[in-house]
Amino acid sequence: MPADYHTHTPLCKHASGTPEGYVEAAVAAGLDEYGISDHAPCRPEPFDDWRMLECELPEYLDWIARAETAARDRVIVRAGMECDWLKGCEGFIGELAGKYDWDYLIGSVHYLGDWDFDNPKWLGKWAQTDVEATWSEYWKTYAEMAESGLFDILAHPDLVKKFSHVPPGDLDRFYDPVIEAIAANGSVIELNTAGWHKPCTEAYPAPRFLELAASAGIGLVISSDAHAPNEIARDFQKARELARAAGYRETQRFEKRKRSTEIL
Ligand code: ZN
Ligand code: FE
Ligand code: FE
Ligand code: ZN
């Protein structure tokens, strides 16, 4: 089974479960590795209402330690964070990277300017937005995140489609430059199964993006983005088949920010 590196904890205020609950779910799913990657703090605080505060980092590390205790030798616990890529965040991400011996850092684009476009709270804003322009801005931001080289894993590549706002025509015009930026930088992308359970009803990224990524030699991890224990490794069989159909034959593992490969 591939590892599941993108999972949350209640510290972000929109996930549920205990470390023990997640560990039991990971063991039951047959995972070799369970990686914890809650929404990292952002500055200035309070930044929004869906992440841990900086002062809660020790509590987060306790949560990880509790998971390790619960896991014993049944599943390997990995420690990471899901960091938001924001204008001018580089210094702070560097600081966060030094706070613990992380196994990996995940980078995510959830914000375009001050709009967290994937938040159902602001769904109305989509109606006032030009989808083509929003997509252009999203992918430009995503490429910049890749070029920063700060992250091991780039999360949910086409999250911008979450509520099914997709411009007409061939989407390669958005995909090509970002594929090039990711390939040049060496970070890996995720096949995030949560998209199957969102209005877009498609995993992130779309099959075409996955195909281009595989051809470009971009590494892959399969992730659930679990916000509850019963979402651990959700749809992983379906995801493996999708990855193989796109041309992938291996997935990536991370330990202390060093990569290795695993046969898919
Ligand atoms: Zn979340
Ligand atoms: Fe995310
Ligand atoms: Fe997440
Ligand atoms: Zn996420």
Instruction: Compute, in angstroms, the gap from residue 253 CA to the centroid of ligand 4.
Output: 18
* Residues by chain with Cβ below 5 Å of ion ligand 4: 225
Instruction: Compute, in angstroms, the gap from residue 28 CA to the centroid of ligand 2.
Output: 25
Ligand with minimal distance to 226 CA: 3
pLDDT of amino acid 197 = 98
Tell me which residue range forms the domain holding 114: 10-263
Instruction: Compute, in angstroms, the gap from residue 111 CA to the centroid of ligand 1.
Output: 13
Instruction: Compute, in angstroms, the gap from residue 169 CA to the centroid of ligand 1.
Output: 30
pLDDT exceeds 80 at position 138? yes
If pLDDT is split at 50, 70 and 90, which confidence band does 1 have? confident
Task: Map tokens 């994937």 to a residue.
Answer: 118
Tell me, yes or no, whether 198 lies in a domain.
yes
pLDDT of amino acid 175 = 98
Q: What is the DSSP letter of 184?
A: H
Bridge partners (DSSP) of residue 33 are 76
Spatial CA neighbour of 229 closest among 15, 4, 30, 17: 17
Instruction: Compute, in angstroms, the gap from residue 6 CA to the centroid of ligand 2.
Output: 9
Tell me, yes or no, whether 226 lies in a domain.
yes
Instruction: Compute, in angstroms, the gap from residue 202 CA to the centroid of ligand 3.
Output: 16
Position with higher pLDDT, 52 vs 127 = 52
3 state SS of 116:
strand
Sign of CA dihedral 150, 153, 156, 158: positive
For 79-133, write each residue's pLDDT tens digit: 999 999 999 999 999 999 999 999 999 999 999 999 999 999 999 999 999 999 9
pLDDT of amino acid 2 = 85
How many domains does the chain contain in total? 1
- What is the mean predicted confidence (pLDDT) over 199-224? 98
What is the CB neighbour count within 10 angstroms for residue 218? 23
Instruction: Compute, in angstroms, the gap from residue 77 CA to the centroid of ligand 3.
Output: 17
Q: Are 5 and 37 in contact (CB under 8 A)?
A: yes
Instruction: Compute, in angstroms, the gap from residue 19 CA to the centroid of ligand 2.
Output: 20
Instruction: Compute, in angstroms, the gap from residue 154 CA to the centroid of ligand 2.
Output: 10
Tell me, yes or no, whether 2 lies in a domain.
no
Alpha helices per DSSP H over 130-253? 131-148, 172-185, 207-215, 236-246
Over the chain, what is the mean pLDDT?
A: 98
The vertex-118 CA angle with 97 and 236, nearest 5°, equals 75
pLDDT exceeds 90 at position 30? yes
- What is the mean predicted confidence (pLDDT) over 209-219? 98
- What is the mean predicted confidence (pLDDT) over 53-68? 98
pLDDT exceeds 90 at position 14? yes
What is the CB neighbour count within 10 angstroms for residue 173? 12
115-116 and 111-112 strand pairing? antiparallel
Alpha helices per DSSP H over the chain? 19-28, 57-71, 90-97, 123-127, 131-148, 172-185, 207-215, 236-246
Tell me, yes or no, whether 5 lies in a domain.
no
Instruction: Compute, in angstroms, the gap from residue 105 CA to the centroid of ligand 2.
Output: 12
pLDDT of amino acid 242 = 98
Bridge partners (DSSP) of residue 191 are 222
Secondary structure of 122-146 in the HEC alphabet? HHHHHHCCCHHHHHHHHHHHHHHHH
**CATH assignment at residue 154:** 3.20.20.140
